[in-house]
Amino acid sequence: MPLWVDTDMGFDDLMAIFLLQQAGLKIDGLSLVAGNAPIEQVTRNAIAAAGCFGWSWPIHRGAAHPIRAEPETAAAILGETGMQSAGRQLPIPDNAAMMILSQTNAIDALSVWLDDLESPATILALGPLTNIAEFSKAHPDLTGEISQLVWMGGSAGAGNHTPHAEFNAYVDPEAVDIVLNAGLPLRMVGLDVCRTVTMVPEDGAELRVATGKQADLLANLLEGYIQIATSRGRETMAVYDPTAAAAIADPDAVGFIPAHMRIHPTGTEKRGMTEIDFSSQNRSNMMLATQVDNIRVRSLTLQALQAEAER
Ligand code: BDR
Ligand code: CA
Q: How far is CA 70 from the centre of its chain?
A: 20
State the Cα angle at 35 between 234 and 32, rounded to 5°.
125
Distances (CA, A) of 147 to 83, 117, 127, 217, 246: 31, 12, 19, 36, 17
Determine the average pLDDT of the residues in 225-238. 97
The pLDDT value recorded for residue 138 is 98
What is the per-residue pLDDT for 135?
98
| Average of per-residue pLDDT values in the chain | 97
Distance 230 CA to ligand 1 centre (A): 17
Q: Are 114 and 146 in contact (CB under 8 A)?
A: yes
Quote the pTM value: 0.98
Q: What pLDDT is recorded for position 279?
A: 80
For ligand 2, the distance from its centroid to the CA atom of residue 16, given in whole angstroms, is 9
Residues above pLDDT 70, as percent of the chain:
99
pLDDT at residue 283 in the model: 87
Q: What is the pLDDT, as a whole number, of residue 281?
A: 62
High-pLDDT (> 90) share of the chain, %: 97
The best mutation among 168, 191, 225 to test binding of ligand 1, ranked by most ligand atoms within 8 Å of the C-beta, falls on: 168
Q: With 90 as the cut, is the pLDDT of residue 126 above it?
A: yes
Which atom number of ligand 1 is nearest to the Cα of residue 74?
Answer: 4
Q: Mind listing the pLDDT tens digit for each residue in 93-110?
A: 999 999 999 999 999 999
Please choose from 9, 41, 152 the residue to mutate so as to test ligand 1's pocket, defined by most ligand atoms within 8 A of CB.
Answer: 152
C-alpha triplet 266, 270, 271: angle, nearest 5°: 25
pLDDT band at 278 (very low <50, low <70, confident <90, very high): confident
Mean of the pLDDT values across residues 59-76?
96
DSSP 8-class letter at 92? P
What's the mean pLDDT in 114-125? 97
pLDDT at 31 over 80: yes
Domain containing 102 equals: 3-310
Residue 74 has a pLDDT of 95
For 164-176, the DSSP string reads S--HHHHH-HHHH
CA distance 22 to 16: 10
Round to whole Å and give the CA distance between 34 and 63: 6
**Ligand 1 proximity of 241 Cβ (cutoff 6 Å):** yes
Tell whether the model's pLDDT for residue 160 goes beyond 80.
yes
pLDDT at 282 over 80: no
254 CB burial (10 A radius; 0-12, 13-18, 19+):
buried
Question: Number of folded domains in the chain?
Answer: 1
Under the banding of pLDDT at 50, 70 and 90, the label for residue 188 is: very high
Model confidence at 272, in pLDDT bands (50, 70, 90)? very high
> For residue 280, what pLDDT is reported?
67
Which CATH number is 42's domain given? 3.90.245.10
**For residue 214, is pLDDT > 70?**
yes
